[in-house]
Amino acid sequence: MNHALLALERAGGQGEAGTEAVGAIFRAVHTVKGVSATMGFTPVAALSHELETLLDGVRRGARAIDEGLMDLLFRSADVLESAIEAAVADRGDSVDVAPLVAQLRAESAERSEAAAAPAASPTKPKRTRSKAGSGARAKKRVAPEPIDSHVPAPQSPSAWTAEMPEGAGLPVRVRLVEGTPLKGVRAFLVVQAARALGEVLACSPSVDALQADAFDHDIALRLRTEREADDVEAALRRAGDVAEVLVGDAPVIAPALDPVNAAMAATPRTGTDGGSVRAQRSVRIDLRRLDSLMNLIGELVITRGRLVQLSAGINDPALTEAVAQTSRLVADLQDEIMTSRMVPVWQVFDRFPRLVRDAARSVGKQVNFVIEGKDVELDRSMLDEVGDPIVHLLRNAIDHGIETPDTRRAQGKPAEGRLTLSATRDRSAVAIRVIDDGRGIDRSRVLARARANGLVEQDKTDLTDEELLRLISRPGFSTAETVTDLSGRGVGIDAVYNRVRSLGGAVDIRSVPGEGTTVTLRLPLTLAIVRSLLARIGDETYAVPLTHVRETVELEPDVVRSVQGREVFMLRDEVLPMVRMRDLVRHPEPASGSLEQVIVVEMAERRAALVVDALVGQQEIVVKQFDGVRDGLGVFGGATILGDGVPALILDVSSLL
């Protein structure tokens, strides 16, 4: 509904796009109305009913689409969502929908009176009511009054396909609207609505077949009830997406089948209960089970490493072969479990268009929001964590980056700013970017605020992108003169930086004055298991994620230089800053004459030479999050347990670059 409302607003309510958007909103509200009425969610049903009535007037042209109507529809969507959440949580009365229901009803009534013709309204057909007791036969009304104005005209009786069960009870036929989404669920709700009226003696197809979607478009029931035929019809229509209801005896002609279809119909697939069913290709799994499976496979990976290490010392060919086969099976199992946890980023991204629209309106700006790479997949646990950082970045881009329409016109830019949220695969990581074409970060203001706070030297005149990021990601740092609903409290980039770092990722900022800003979040595909290069410093082992390792070389004395008092490493024609791991962890100096190794690490376009004592090898490690010790180093992003049971710290490469 939110997406359709945004499309309607962009189209200005005009043309084919506007018509399609109104139809999509109407269908969404109608679905909510039908299901909520069946489930007994009264506040949701009342609100969606009045909203549907107003939307029907919009569809018929009785209500013009203007800014006031759009605001009302957006507010209705918000309240409807809150009411649904409250109903599901069994807090149905916690959301008061009465004021909005009254406003929608008044809006619909006002427009209906204005559009009413002076001529007398046509006479309604008479309604024939009869008792529909056990075994009774109630005749179908000749000219039934439609319950919902959107329901299409009834199809011919020849379209009925479900066979009426034999036996006692009132015969009832229900046909669903063509193209009903989740028609099996809708049909089950119809049966539930019938059960609320009395006793369902028989159902064709079976309830199991309905839930498996193994039916055409209609169902047939035998119902024992004391309710009137009209009441039965009205109750079943309220289940939603119901095109036609026949209560009582009516001639039904089955459609003719060609020989192939007839043969197929004569040999249905059967399940254990003998009913016709459709093969199921998916099942619902509790997320806690997936988390448990990932934890178990992590422990299995640790045990595999121990087995490989032990078997190497025994030198038994049969044992070595068995361990190798076990390793392959564990690797396959790990891949399957990790794949089952991957979900597309659109599951989080799809809630941002509405957020951007509301934020832009609150500060009087025009924003064209574009989402790219919605099908890129991330581990579910990772996806749950990136939503808040992205919200901060989008709000900052709208408030600080994109200019007001008048300012943009004066600068020769379109009045509408462009804001892009994209996701791309970057080797074994995912890069999420927030790009705006606004004013860019004002480095002079950042530098002035940094000088005032004593964060840089007073004679410093320029900031690199790395220095800029370090400053604006400091807790409480902000250049905003006033606090708005969107920003100004100095918690935006700080929150993003800390959250992404805690996930084992990195943040990168590139800003050009007058052209815009790009913020990149690089995240591992999963938080659980990563392939790493093991390096040794003295008698301690450290892990470096392979996703950030470009190559390894031996450290020769003739490739080390000094530039402005700092050591650099000459790698062919490239000059790389050197980082000695021994100095980072404050380990005693190595024995003289030992040959050190260099790990060339990289992130985005930045590289560095990490010097270690020795390389141990590659290994898949299980990442264990931990809280850093007091006054500890901020260069580690987690810990792991190696095959010999010894713990090892995992280096956070982003802290070195």
Catalytic residues: 30, 52, 396
- How are beta strands 367-372 and 417-426 bridged, if at all? parallel
Buried b (16+ CB within 10 A) or exposed e, 316-326: eeeeeeebeeb
Residues 209, 275 contacting (CB under 8 angstroms): yes
Dig out the tokens for 608 from the structure: 């560095």
Dig out the tokens for 107 from the structure: 């809006």
Closest CA to 185 of 261, 240, 118: 240
Residues 494, 476 contacting (CB under 8 angstroms): yes
Closest CA to 467 of 483, 456, 475: 456
**CB under 8 Å to 11, separation ≥6 — which residues?**
17, 18, 21
Dig out the tokens for 236 from the structure: 């079943």
Buried b (16+ CB within 10 A) or exposed e, 126-145: eeeeeebeeeeebeebeebe
Residues 610, 583 contacting (CB under 8 angstroms): no
**CA 496, CA 386: separation in Å to the nearest integer?**
9
* 629-to-585, 626, 633, 636 alpha-carbon distances in Å: 14, 9, 8, 11
What is the phi/psi pair of residue 84, to 5°?
A: -65, -45
**CA 124, CA 143: separation in Å to the nearest integer?**
9
What is the phi/psi pair of residue 485, to 5°?
A: -65, -20
Residues 522, 604 contacting (CB under 8 angstroms): yes
**CB under 8 Å to 580, separation ≥6 — which residues?**
567, 611
**CA 247, CA 136: separation in Å to the nearest integer?**
11
What 8-state DSSP symbol labels residue 628? P
- How are beta strands 242-247 and 198-204 bridged, if at all? unpaired
What sign for the dihedral angle of Cα 582, 500, 371, 340?
positive
- Residue 636 has a CB neighbour count (10 Å cut-off) of 19
